[in-house]
Structure 1
Amino acid sequence: MSCILITGGNGFIGRQIARRAVADGHVVRSIARSGRPTLTEPWVDEVDWNAADVFEPQDWRDQLGGCDAVIHTIANIRESPEQGVTFERINGDAAIIAGLEAERMNVEAFVFLSAVGTPPLVSERYQAAKLRAERAISDLDIRTGVLKPGPVYGEGANQGHFPYLVNRCLRAIDDHEFLARHFGDQRPLGVTHVARAALRVALDSDEPELLMPHSIKSYSENSSQ
């Protein structure tokens, strides 16, 4: 059993990582500005939900005590500069702050959910911020891992960021390898694959430090990994 802190644990991917970590018997903590999600599933009661702003580490630093790994999932695909929501801040600075705090508290591993490219109709600043964070994280004096998925679709009740029909199309593509391979690194990936991969990289020092979409796909429900 390990202790995992998920930054953004009540988000689309963060919730799936938390659910799987609980199912695997791990101690799970989350920090997010909105705290506990509005879910009634039994696993939710097993997570230590903390309402905190990643940019104010003095309010959540104590949650790193005894943690074996931090998985950083905070990101945004829309900017609202008047509210302080910019790609530079949310997709870049947040990850760097979380990584530095993990290093400061001697956490064994830090995993960053990055992206293989910029989503359609989104500014290139989105990816530039994530790449800046990747470079900074690589300099940390702890074990680090970076996942770079393409579009991540929801499964079951966890529908994610895309409209219903788009989400179904992405899943249909992923279900047919002969179609998915034509998308290259932009192949769709199910959120469960991303969650499994993030947990493995966080907890297994033998896992690679960088996972691209084809590697993330290998962490399937039926995989022995």
Structure 2
Amino acid sequence: MSRLIQARFSLSRFSSIASSRNVRFLSTESNKTDEPFKVEEAETVNMPPPPTEKLLVLGGNGFVGSHICKEALDRGLTVASISRTGRSSIQDSWANSVTWHQGNLLSTDSWKDALKGVTSVISCVGGFGSNSYMYKINGTANINAIRAASEEGVKRFVYISAADFGPVNYLLQGYYEGKRAAETELLTRYPYGGIILRPGFIYGTRRVGSMKLPLGVVGSPLEMILQRAKPLSQIPIVGPLFTPPVNVSAVAKVAVRAATDPVFPPGVIDVHGILRYSQQRSV
């Protein structure tokens, strides 16, 4: 027992001496102290930046199209636009960042080169007039664009269509027949990357020449009222007349998200869906 106590005392004394003298027991050489680690700099490699998504807006100089162009630029996309008049008359600074092309969607050869390098397309093309004219602009022109984009390998295509308004559909037969024909073509060519937005009345500040029409004065209150009266839209025949208006900024936001977000669901998005998606945080 006395030997065990003596051994423990010796070990304790040895530890205290080692601590006081800061003895380095892990050193393999008695005449050298530990040296700090040397970190060599990694070789710098110049990597190209990741490719920027390129969006082509059909009808980008119009009321809805111009808001879509601005929204896309704000999200860091490269933006180009095709319209019959070419460059927009908008004097805002963002318009200088858009590549403007002049072309007629009824003549694919006049604009097909603009599809080079494009990853997604948003079409805002539409118009009013005679039934034959409305079918041509809302239907044939968009069908040509959908086919050309598909053949070029464009990944996603968003089409700004229109909500059904019941009896109004019959008064604008060529308009709605053209819209629905374009929708059918889109869902056929783009079963996984085709998105159709069906807004009703789109409000916002609309430019007519040098004048600005503040359509939000009427549209915003109606949106608040009719958005809460969704059951009324289910009434047969007259129900569609209660479709709430939607702000042009909301349409632009959802359109750009649909064109760039690979998990955005394909298919038809009605006005209530547009309002819901516009209130979500962008990815």
Q: For 1:1-225, list aligned pairs within 5 A.
A: 1-79=52-130, 86-118=133-165, 120=168, 122-141=171-190, 143-155=193-205, 158=206, 164=213, 167-176=216-225, 181=230, 184=233, 186-209=243-266, 210-220=268-278, 223-225=280-282
C-alpha distance in 1, partners of 2:131/2:118?
Answer: 33
C-alpha distance in 2, partners of 1:47/1:197?
Answer: 20
Q: Aligned-pair distance for 1:180?
A: 5.6
C-alpha distance in 2, partners of 1:124/1:20?
Answer: 32
Structure 1 consecutive aligned stretches of length 4 or more whose deviation exceeds 2 Å: 77-81, 118-122, 163-167, 175-185
2:87 match: secondary structure: coil
C-alpha distance in 1, partners of 2:189/2:87?
Answer: 30
Q: Which deviates the most, 86-95 or 179-188? A: 179-188
**Equivalences, count:** 216
C-alpha distance in 2, partners of 1:208/1:42?
Answer: 33
C-alpha distance in 2, partners of 1:178/1:31?
Answer: 34
Q: TM-score, normalised by structure 1?
A: 0.86
2:196 match: secondary structure: strand
User: Between Structure 1 and Structure 2, whose CA radius of gyration is higher?
Assistant: 2
Letter in 2 for 1:100: R
C-alpha distance in 1, partners of 2:232/2:88?
Answer: 33
C-alpha distance in 2, partners of 1:180/1:46?
Answer: 41
Q: Aligned-pair distance for 1:110?
A: 1.0
Q: TM-score, normalised by structure 2?
A: 0.70
**Any gaps of 5 or more consecutive residues in structure 2?**
1-51, 234-239
Q: Aligned-pair distance for 1:144?
A: 0.9
Could you say which structure has the greater relative contact order, defined with CA pairs below 8 angstroms and 6 or more residues apart?
Answer: 1
Relative distance call for 1:140 and 1:178 in structure 2 (3 A) is closer
Q: Aligned-pair distance for 1:66?
A: 0.7
Q: Aligned-pair distance for 1:74?
A: 0.3
Q: % of aligned pairs identical?
A: 28
> Do the aligned partners of 2:64 and 2:248 also contact (CA within 8 Å) in 1?
yes
The match for 2:32 is none
CA RMSD, 1 decimal: 2.4
The match for 2:35 is none
**Any gaps of 5 or more consecutive residues in structure 1?**
none
